[in-house]
């Protein structure tokens, strides 16, 4: 049975191991560098995990807390031995974890705390401009930070005041760009969120594993829910390792993990 200390050790080992591998083999990119982040990963042709468009990232990671909530609800509803005390405690933990996710990643009286940290540490809101010729890399243009906070789509038609006349003449009529925060200290949101999700799921699954290991009968739906949730927790830990191998600087990955250590 995996204890709370052991699961924290496994999560830490996944991040540290992936980070060490990335440094030794030069597999990571600095996602806070706008000139690098808009390009394909230099190893995209070698691994699907070096492509942001890979199906695990699109289907699972971008909706990680939603999947974690589905797993939690499936285990809770299929557990025939839920008591009022257990119900209140489990849902209180879910509400607390959801609040932590929202405050750090999504919203805290405006931008999330991780986004605010990027701005405070020197981050700039920029949009990627198309290259002027086929052999050039995309350029970037700094714009006010509120456009990143509001996630506003920028184009010469919607925001003409941001563009010079000469620049507007070079842009295609249908061109538009979503601004992103770059530079500064870009704490790995994936590492932070997947660590939170893994620790939360383990807390909910530990009693379920003990129940399934006992001779007491359990329903098939409960076994399926526990198996699904366990597999999801394993996927989160695996993707923490993958993220550590390919994305963010070592310090950004360690700070994403370190916020759970205190």
Q: Is residue 249 packed enough to be buried (19+ CB in 10 Å), middle (13-18) or exposed (0-12)?
A: buried
13, 38: one domain: yes
Give domain status of residue 119, yes or no.
no
Computed over every residue of the chain, the mean pLDDT equals 83
129, 38: one domain: no
What digits encode the pLDDT tens for the residues 214-251? 887 788 899 999 999 999 999 999 999 999 999 888 88
34, 155: one domain: no
Q: Is the pLDDT of residue 197 over 80?
A: yes
109, 194: one domain: yes
192, 252: one domain: yes
What range does the domain containing 208 cover?
Answer: 4-114+185-258
Which of 194, 186, 204 lies closest to 238, judged by CA? 194
Confidence grade of residue 199 (pLDDT, cut at 50, 70, 90)? very high
74, 139: one domain: no
106, 36: one domain: yes
* Residue percentage of the chain with pLDDT more than 70: 86
What DSSP string runs through 154-208?
B-TTT-GGGS-HHHHHHS-TT--B--EEESS----HHHHHHHHHHHHHHHHHHHH
81, 195: one domain: yes
Total number of domains in the chain? 2
108, 233: one domain: yes
Tokens encoding 14: 């996944």
How much is the pLDDT for 70? 96
How much is the pLDDT for 258? 63
154, 208: one domain: no
How much is the pLDDT for 134? 44
99, 47: one domain: yes
């Amino acid at each position: 049975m995996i204890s709370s200390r052991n699961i924290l050790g496994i999560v830490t080992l996944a991040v540290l191991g992936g980070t060490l591998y990335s440094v030794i083999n030069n597999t990571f990119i600095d996602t806070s560098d706008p000139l690098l982040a808009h390009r394909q990963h230099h190893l995209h042709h070698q691994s699907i995990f070096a492509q942001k468009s890979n199906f695990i990232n699109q289907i699972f990671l971008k909706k990680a807390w939603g999947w974690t909530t589905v797993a939690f609800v499936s285990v809770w509803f299929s557990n025939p031995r839920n008591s009022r005390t257990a119900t209140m405690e489990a849902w209180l933990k879910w509400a607390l974890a959801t609040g932590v996710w929202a405050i750090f990643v999504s919203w805290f009286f405006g931008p999330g705390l991780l986004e605010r940290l990027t701005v405070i540490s020197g981050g700039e809101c920029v949009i990627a401009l198309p290259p002027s010729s086929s052999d050039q890399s995309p350029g970037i243009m700094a714009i006010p930070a509120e456009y990143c906070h509001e996630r506003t789509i920028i184009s010469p038609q919607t925001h003409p005041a941001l563009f010079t006349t000469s620049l507007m003449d070079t842009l295609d009529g249908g061109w538009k760009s979503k601004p992103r925060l770059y530079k500064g200290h870009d704490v790995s949101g994936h590492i932070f969120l997947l660590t939170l999700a893994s620790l939360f799921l383990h807390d909910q699954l530990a009693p379920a594993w003990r129940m399934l290991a006992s001779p007491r009968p359990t329903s098939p739906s409960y076994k399926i829910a526990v198996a699904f949730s366990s597999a999801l927790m394993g996927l989160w830990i695996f993707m923490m390792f993958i993220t550590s191998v390919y994305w963010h600087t070592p310090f950004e990955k360690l700070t994403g993990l370190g916020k759970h250590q205190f």
